Amino acid sequence: MRQDIDVDVHPAYPMSWRASVFNGLMRGTTKPMSALLLRHTAVMSLVSRLVAMGERLPLPAPAGVSIVKEDADPCGSEWVRAGADLDEDKVLLYFHGGGYFFCSPATHRPITWRLSAAARRPVLALDYRQGPAHSLAQSLADALGAYQGLLDKGYRACDILLAGDSAGGHLTLATLLALRDRGLPEPAAAVCLSPWADLSDGGRRANRWADPMLTASRVDWLARRWTAGLDPRDPLVSPVYGDYTGLPPLMVVTGSTEVLRDEGRRVAARARGAGVRVTYEEWHRMPHVFAILADILPEARLVFGHIQRFLDAVAAADPAAASTAPAAGLVPAPAVPGDLQASAANPESGSAAA
């Protein structure tokens, strides 16, 4: 089954008109605003507070999706379940993105409930500590603590998946490296969506003008902010420089025009060089962490079918993980809203042009 996991994929779906419109809107609003405003720690604190206020809006979960706060965490971690027929002996630990200074499990529910359906297991979305009040080391400590907490609850490492987007993708990779270095059991697999993997001072050149959302100079500024006083090439600071020997299968998803694309490519190449099975997917002209736009973009809904296929291939290749996995092939998602079921049934053949 190695060939089913260790692949490069460039999905050939035609770009939807919704994606074209969204890219244009972001290029004219979010990108110039971030370039203008994201220049001081006080602005980061303000953005974080504004997003937190928005999270208080009573937005209902989709039918068939349950969201329950984690009892052991007063800060806001939550359990997300999509459908009733989930394997409660398994879990996916999710780290949200947000540049390490904003967003939360609540902002990333469009991703987490769909991951629950694709992985056919509950998702624990972690509310880890973020800047500017907290450091990268504290974020990593929270991630490792959450993983250890799952082991303490009786979950087998082979029944745990890790996933994250952007800064959460960084945290996913750093957690994998730290677990290996500490001699702790690794999860069955990990999924990184547009991972921010290089916080060194090299400067970003690729897609500086093509990215519709992120400004390369502001990403560089954030990297300098979080690495002050640290070695920016420490693998736990910049996982792109890590030794991936002994890590579990990895899936990396990027957009072809985002400024972080090359970091995803480098992670995939470095992991493969260390013998890790990697699925690398690069989606044509998709924005940063486009999966979070699944309520809007058809391409974002389709990517969860690709993730499900990767996870099924991992389970089929690992006898321990496959002991309670479906017998073969892709299985329709649980009885949740229909967008995922349609894409998961055949992730290669659909059209995103709607």
Instruction: Residue 132: name the closest of 31, 260, 231, 222 by CA.
Output: 222
Question: Cα separation of 346 and 302, whole Å?
Answer: 9
φ, ψ for residue 203, nearest 5 deg: 80, 140
Residue type at position 236? L
304 has a pLDDT exceeding 80: yes
Angle between helices 30-37 and 17-28 (to 10 degrees): 30
- 75: which 2 tokens? 């800060």
**Residues facing residue 281 across a β-bridge:** 9, 253
Q: Please, what is the average pLDDT of the chain?
A: 87
Q: How confident is the model at residue 56 (pLDDT cuts 50, 70, 90)?
A: low
Which helix (H) or strand (E) segment holds residue 163: the answer is: strand 160-165
Active-site residue flag, 194: no
Say how many C-beta atoms besides its own lie within 10 A of residue 3's C-beta.
8
Instruction: Name the active-site residue from 77, 166, 194, 238.
Output: 166
**Architecture of the domain spanning 2-51+62-345:** 3-Layer(aba) Sandwich (3.40)
CA distances from residue 177 to 43, 56, 144 in whole angstroms, order as listed: 32, 35, 11
Q: In which order are the strands placed within the sheet that holds 189-193?
A: 7-9, 278-283, 250-255, 189-193, 160-165, 91-95, 123-126, 78-82, 65-69
Read off the pLDDT of residues 250-272 as tens digits, 9 standing for 90 and up.
Answer: 999 999 999 999 999 999 999 99
- 266: which 2 tokens? 């480098």
pLDDT (mean) for 192-199:
97
The domain locations on the chain are 2-51+62-345
pLDDT (mean) for 189-196:
98
Read off the pLDDT of residues 20-47 as tens digits, 9 standing for 90 and up.
Answer: 999 999 999 988 888 777 777 777 677 7
In this prediction, residue 61 carries a pLDDT of: 79
326 has a pLDDT exceeding 60: no
Q: Structure pTM?
A: 0.88
